[in-house]
Structure 1
Amino acid sequence: MATNHFVLIAILLPLALLAAAATAHDEVPAKQDKTATVVVEGKVYCQSCKYFGSWSLTDAEPIPAAKVSVICKNHKKRVSYYKAFETDKNGYFYAELKDFTMTHYLLDHPLHSCHVKLVSSPLESCNLLSNINNGINGSPLRFENRVLYGKNYEAIVYESGPLAFRPSNCFSDDTP
């Protein structure tokens, strides 16, 4: 009978040690994966009347609190992401595309699927949409080979524009 206990212990002891090791392994915190975020940045200006009708931004002034939208469409041409962003006091916007997903890593890539459009200007004197850099139809993104790194964070930065509204009071005799 002592032999049976010895055989039983010889079989059960390694199993108990395996179970304890597996339990101890589960208690160790898992290494966090880095999350990659897509960021779009750009500037919004008020075009000078002097250059009305052109794509020139010479003498243009930045517009604080202007709104732009980032629109992404998947490879089936359906909107997969939409959000409006506001410029800071210098007319600069930094649009972090939280929850942006790609169902197809090539066809839904931000360079191909996302565009930035003008939405609104807070300036009564400069609130007409212009199509400078395709601000009405959708300005394509450019990858400028910039990536921001942080602890458990990586932001891939794309640029858009610059975009511009134009004044509503430009007269043809003021243009060059």
Structure 2
Amino acid sequence: MGAVGLMLMVAVSFLIGSINVIEAWKEEAAGAGVIHVGGKVLCQDCTLGWNEWVHGAKPIKGCKVSITCMDDRSRVVYYGSDDTDEAGNFEMIINKYINGKVLKPTNCFLRLVSSPDPVCNIVTDFSGGRRGVKLGRPTMVYRDMIKHVLGPFYYTTPMCDQPDTGNQSDDGKGTNY
């Protein structure tokens, strides 16, 4: 196999390396190196009539929404958060490459953290805001951008909060306090 075979192997390995670099550059240039996540946070007041309750939710400025991404061994590899704007919208852009490894959107989940509104600050589980929502398929693919749009998520007033009565134990003697 001599010098010609050795040169042929070097040329092939250089060509394969160049193709990988070119493909990675194309992916980065196309915006595929980031994950876009967005949505909306609203206040829903149960004391209003049905029509106002369903269609009259108001945006909350300054709500904190977080995203947590795990690796395949269920370890946290990324945590980030964003505050909502005047229209209740949040937008997060996450680097798809963390510590040299590809971040899988399906291993990420988003949840509500806090509301600055003194009246509307009880987190609800409408659209999964309390327990968290896993990212699935992107909801928007347009040119160079792939985006996951979630929600809307809702907070409500303390008057609308229903107590959790499902985890109480009863000893049958009426002595539970």
TM (norm. structure 1) is 0.63
Contact 1:132 1:163 in 2 (8 A): yes
Query: 1:102/1:162 Cα in 2 relative to 1: closer, same or farther (>3 Å)?
Result: farther
Bigger relative contact order, structure 1 or 2 (CA pairs below 8 A, ≥6 apart): 1
TM-aligned CA deviation for residue 38 of structure 1? 0.5
Unaligned runs of 5+ in 2: 1-21, 163-177
- Which residue does 2:133 correspond to in 1? 139
Q: Which has the larger radius of gyration?
A: 1
Query: 1:170/1:78 Cα in 2 relative to 1: closer, same or farther (>3 Å)?
Result: same
Deviations 1:37-87 (A, max 9, x none): 100010001122148xxxx85421111111100111111111111111011
- How far apart, CA to CA, are the structure 2 residues paired with 1:93 and 1:124? 20
For the pair 1:158 / 2:148, whether they are aligned, the reply is yes
Deviations 1:108-138 (A, max 9, x none): 520x211111011110001111111111111
- How far apart, CA to CA, are the structure 1 residues paired with 2:149 and 2:99? 19
Give the letter aligned to residue 146 of structure 2. I
Q: Give the % identical residues.
A: 31
Contact 1:141 1:159 in 2 (8 A): no
- How far apart, CA to CA, are the structure 2 residues paired with 1:102 and 1:165? 35
RMSD: 3.0
- How far apart, CA to CA, are the structure 1 residues paired with 2:147 and 2:161? 39
Give the letter aligned to residue 73 of structure 1. M
Contact 1:67 1:87 in 2 (8 A): yes
- How far apart, CA to CA, are the structure 2 residues paired with 1:90 and 1:69? 18
Contact 2:107 2:135 in 1 (8 A): no
Q: 2:104 aligns with which of 109, 118, 123?
A: 109
- How far apart, CA to CA, are the structure 2 residues paired with 1:84 and 1:171? 25
Moved over 4 A (4+): 102-105
